Amino acid sequence: MLETTWFILWGVLWAVYFALDGYDLGMGTLMPFLAKDERDRRIMYNAAGPFWDGNQVWLITAGGVTFAAFPATYAALFSGLYTALMLLLFALILRGVSFEFRRKVDSERWRKVWDFCHVSGSFLPALLLGVAFANIFQGIPLNAQGINEGGLLDLLNPYGLLGGVLFVLMFSLHGSLWLGVKSEGPIADRAAAMAEKLWLALMAVVVLFLVMTAFATSLFDNYLNNPLLFVVLLLAVIGLIQARVFLGKRSMLLAWGASAVSIISVTLFGVIGLFPALLPSSLDPAYSMTIANSASSQLTLKIMLGVVLVFVPLVIAYQAWLHITFGHKITDADLEYEEAY
């Protein structure tokens, strides 16, 4: 029972991370297309500035839960996908540094260097996370010792790459909607127009991804055994459609909220399909990392559950306060603050 509880928490933490950090990763990816001058770039930095590091707390939490609750899966995952995860880590570090270093020197060349780090450090994590999760969904070549017999290039298969494209589009749409919430004038108009184009592309990729999922993975098995679970997939579709409806009315905050619902539902769709495995083996299902063969002791899981029940509500309350306090539109007056990016 505790193993199942932690599996659910593991999936929810990843879903919340994608819904929160997804918008600032997507906004950074779109900077070359939406920012026409220095003022636009500063608006985009400040639209993410108060939130991005808090959003990444959920990534640390999800990774920490994998390590503490399912250590065998953590070992297999981080040894098998070592190169991809190091690339992800370096990209996130470069991106984080860009927020702080860009304003340190008044030089156009200096700012361009950190803008490049910011854009690449936003695009690569979205792509790598999509490739990684798609490969997890279809299974990686784990042998009986829990060692990945594949290499980095094996991750770049058609289904894995499609997962990467899906995540980039999903986060970019989420980011353009958030920029629409946080800005006004021409840059807000460009963000809305970009969101309309991204929505169409995302819908096409979602349909293709679901078709390939049916053939390349066994995710649908749990849904066919219990059709009520299709509600999760239905929520993802409703979220996407509602995002487009609200976008058409230029109700950007509601559109962003609907997009968040779709991201959370898409993530939970994959996690529910995996159950009870966390890391399926494509060589033999018996070699898969599951909640049964990779969970920590019952005592560890009980102690962790107590800690989570105390601290996660505090984190949620803090982030809710943060988004309410700094959720207003950015104006020229905001850019004049000494602490502005």
pLDDT tens sequence across 296-329: 999 999 999 998 889 889 989 998 999 899 888 9
Tens place of pLDDT for every residue, the chain, 341 residues? Answer: 888 999 999 999 999 999 999 999 999 999 999 999 999 999 999 999 889 988 988 998 888 888 889 998 888 887 777 888 889 999 999 999 999 899 888 889 999 999 999 999 999 999 999 999 999 999 988 888 888 887 778 888 999 999 999 999 999 999 999 999 999 999 999 999 999 999 999 999 999 999 999 999 999 999 999 999 999 999 999 999 999 999 999 999 999 999 999 999 999 999 999 999 999 998 988 899 999 888 899 999 999 999 888 988 998 999 899 989 988 899 888 888 777 78
Contact 287, 146 (CB under 8 A): yes
Contact 115, 44 (CB under 8 A): no
Tell me what pLDDT residue 98 has.
93
The rounded distance, in Å, linking the Cα atoms of 142 and 282 is 7
The rounded distance, in Å, linking the Cα atoms of 44 and 182 is 9
Quote the pTM value: 0.93
The rounded distance, in Å, linking the Cα atoms of 58 and 51 is 12
Helices then strands, counting H and E runs in the chain, come out as 15, 2
**Element at 279 (helix H, strand E):** strand 277-279
- Can you tell me which residue has the tokens 């009520």? 228
Contact 95, 130 (CB under 8 A): no
Helix (H, G, I), strand (E, B), or coil: what is residue 183?
A: coil
Q: Distances in Å between the alpha carbon of 85 and those of 31, 80, 89, 287, 319?
A: 24, 10, 6, 22, 26
Tell me what pLDDT residue 238 has.
96
Question: What dihedral angle (degrees, nearest 10) is formed by the CA atoms of 284, 14, 44, 36?
Answer: 20
pLDDT tens sequence across 156-202: 899 999 999 999 999 999 999 999 999 999 999 999 999 999 999 99
The rounded distance, in Å, linking the Cα atoms of 26 and 47 is 12
Cβ neighbours around 245 below 10 Å, total: 13
Nearest to 247 by CA among 239, 256, 234: 256
State both tokens at 127: 């792509």
Tell me what pLDDT residue 138 has.
92
Tell me what pLDDT residue 202 has.
96
